[in-house]
Amino acid sequence: MTEQTRALPLVLAPPKGRGKPPRHLADLDPAERKVAAESLGEPAFRVKQVAMHYFGRLERDPDQMTDLPAASRARIVESLLPPLLTPVRTLEADGGTTRKTLWRLFDGALVESVLMRYRDRATICVSSQAGCGMACPFCATGQGGLQRNMSTAEIIDQIVDGASVMARGLVPGGPGRLSHVVFMGMGEPMANYKAVIGAVRRMVARTPEGLGLSARNITVSTVGLVPRIRQLAGEGIPVTLAVSLHAPDDELRNELVPINTRFSVAQTVEAAWEYARATKRRVSIEYAMMRDINDQAWRADMLADVLNSYGDWGWVHVNLIPLNPTPGSKWTASRTEDEREFVRRLVAKGIPTTVRDTRGSDIDGACGQLAAADA
């Protein structure tokens, strides 16, 4: 590996000494909301009213919450909905249907989210950590290192903002509904498991407990933290699992995805198969196509053999990702002919395969490009 692309150390625990964001309504389960109401000296239904505004109407402005008593409205909202994300800038691509927003958190940390509107759906790609500790050398986020975990509410607030943008018709196509959420922004979701699963529970809970999204429209991505994949399988929430494999053999994956030195390809794929078996949800294997690195035809055959070793009952599909450029990186996207042959080999062995429609690469908003640079 060149000096230019040498991986940082693998970091699973965030650095100590970072402060915690203010407690927010989205951090609280129903029992905790009752306690919050008592601490405010308000009846429990006041918190429910605020929750209806936040989760149901996607509203944060106390002036719009006219069902709250005027004398205490500001105090109640300030306590339950403290500002968590401050927009720094928003960049647009694809005729305005892709929007990348840079957010500043309470402690100055920067994260990004990407809203993408398609013909039949609207998806937001959210961050779960400020930075990332997984140290994948081809990923801009991974090369930035890990600053801290995000809270459940900081994750949810990205989604509420995206849903509000859609509802207000700020994306070409008129008012619409946010339908899908993918944890493919900054960070390794499984390394911030408690906050991520808390956010998932808020997403799927009915309003006013949450956003009322379908679990089947939520994708949780991971580079392969095997114990957490198994834990997720037992949560009873049928989200889609996406595993960023990127290589079918340990020798190469150890270089591309350093967590592989702890959990091998075989262990990772087995955990993914166990997830599919437990949830009856098809697992997505993410595979970034890198020229002359992992895109050889024989590696396509090897990948198919690894996946087929667990049976062909429709438990998996492969999502090939044309590698997106990052500044100063030696890694480049595969040649078109090599990508086509890779697909042909997988399909020939019965593996359902798609090539991701890469959006937002011209605003550094595509997979692997999020670096949260304030410049």
Question: Could you list the active site residues?
Answer: 112, 367
- For the record, the structure tokens of 285 come out as 């294997």
DSSP 94-127: GGGTEEEEEEE-TTS-EEEEEEEE-SS-EEEE--
How far from chain centre, in Å, is Cα 228?
Answer: 15
Cβ neighbours for 290, distance < 8 A, ≥ 6 positions apart? 138, 246, 256, 323, 331, 332, 333, 334
Q: What are the E-state strand segments in the chain?
A: 86-93, 98-104, 110-117, 122-125, 129-131, 146-149, 180-183, 218-222, 240-244, 283-289, 316-322, 353-355
DSSP state letter for 92: E
Contact criterion met (CB below 8 Å) for 173 and 99: no
- For the record, the structure tokens of 167 come out as 């509802």
Contact criterion met (CB below 8 Å) for 47 and 33: yes
Contact criterion met (CB below 8 Å) for 62 and 79: no
Measured distance CA(200)–CA(195) in Å, rounded:
9
Contact criterion met (CB below 8 Å) for 117 and 97: yes
Measured distance CA(209)–CA(78) in Å, rounded:
19
Measured distance CA(271)–CA(257) in Å, rounded:
17
Residue 338 identity: D
Cβ neighbours for 117, distance < 8 A, ≥ 6 positions apart? 97, 98, 166, 171, 172, 173, 176
Cis peptide bond prior to 208, omega within 30° of 0: yes
Cβ neighbours for 357, distance < 8 A, ≥ 6 positions apart? none
What is the signed CA dihedral for 155, 156, 162, 167, rounded to 10 degrees?
A: 180
Percentage helix, strand, coil, to 5, in the chain? 40, 20, 45
